[in-house]
Structure 1
């Protein structure tokens, strides 16, 4: 190497000893959590006054929230944003998108009950965004008992409150026909360029799900929930919704459920049973996905299928308290892909929402 030009000699040294020429350090000093929930903003007071589910009850062990699909202790983490900010600092989360708690099903109550509470919550979340200098933003609730009223509230949320969008009960996306009942909301979302998170929740008038006879935490809250999340994605990509409403950003939860693991079977079904209509795998990349409550192996499969530029970190806080960075750091994906999932995809999506205003 003594006779080589200095620049070439140094390049060979770096290659020999494992240096990456021109590489930059991966930036995981930022993390945007795109799937978390908030039960404050007046919701606790409204639910405490109710006599039936969903409702908040005082017990000898402390307050308990009775949702439509179960119950859980109601702690300050659920309703005090300062507690959440402190946990974010510990976890390495620099920005978080909170949502109206869709699984409670308060957004499908009769309009007289839901609309005042939802508007109060949305106003509260808009104020919180300003108070935290954008560290906390939010997806609003909508009153689905009246679709036209829900559409008007979404327009207010986008144009007056300047929030990114809203959370929508994903049971409305169990079939294409069910999704079409949301047309007024979808029109408003497209008009305002809204982000819609399709999160587990009931349709108006729908009975609460029957829990499994044993181990419902696993059978119902994991296996059934992930299968339902997959149905939501299928409704989006097998219908004309993405084409009819091109300015809506749809967020599917939990990496689209089982989709990354069964997509090859669906492609085989397309080849062998629908030869003239192959499964539209490419359309999966027109949806955004969060990785809430899932781990590194699931993330690896999803990155290979969707691409890291469609995947965002998520925690499902305060139901879960793990840092979303744990799955990202543990995944066998490139440094660039880790950075993309940790914050770049979410930052680009949130910037897109602001550009529509």
Structure 2
């Protein structure tokens, strides 16, 4: 984790105090990107963007095809652009390099062309070549796409992002010309609930939903302020002190990715998850699938191979709270409701 010259130093992930729910949701999505991303809702100034950037900084480098606009994986056909696939088919020599996992910030005022990319029709017609100007989805391939204030983003754009995140591909069509490229990324959205919620059908498509609030304990607040002051004073020294913890966590995440395929979840536990989703009137099966995946990712993260009821309890609120139908007269918090139904299903009343 050597410091790069002229790169703004990033606050270390392991030094972020509190906000355990948000940190866990992000880590589990990194272990298994198929969980489907994270929606982080919370007050202003609670470290949402700081935490996302800290996680990206923590992760190991990835191998990409040199000078490829889509961060193509030199070995995985599903993560290759068409030009790299052609090179593989002809057994051409593919030069590679290592880069930090990309993190792309999507600005609120972004247009669809800026997000998806554009086709140069003039070049296509006059020179007969598919001239494609990649957008933010191309840059985010194999990385993290972060949308701050996602609840203020145009619904149509949110739909485009969620479609690409779910399918792993982005297709741009114009005047009968179609270009498709890999766009497999972890979508992280954040927002302030005071500024409005996403529409339920969009919210449901985020794998997990973390709620964070301002830290209330005076001693923790003092610790956060002190740590930030120390970091601002001498970022390199502060990061050096955290290096061992950072490397330990990075290894834990890398090992968990390898361990994930060995993790087992008993049929009885899967049945209980579906019972809970059914009792909560969760539409569709996305809630069942995400809860299963998140429980397995948590077990892998802790270096085990069997999912327990405790693992499910740890993650089920993150996976289901945003999928409940909102009753305007309901006073109970949706997270509490999920936990109550869990306790009934497992006989913990």
When the two structures are superposed, what TM-score results if normalisation uses the length of structure 1? Answer: 0.29
Bigger relative contact order, structure 1 or 2, given CA contacts below 8 A and separation 6+? 2
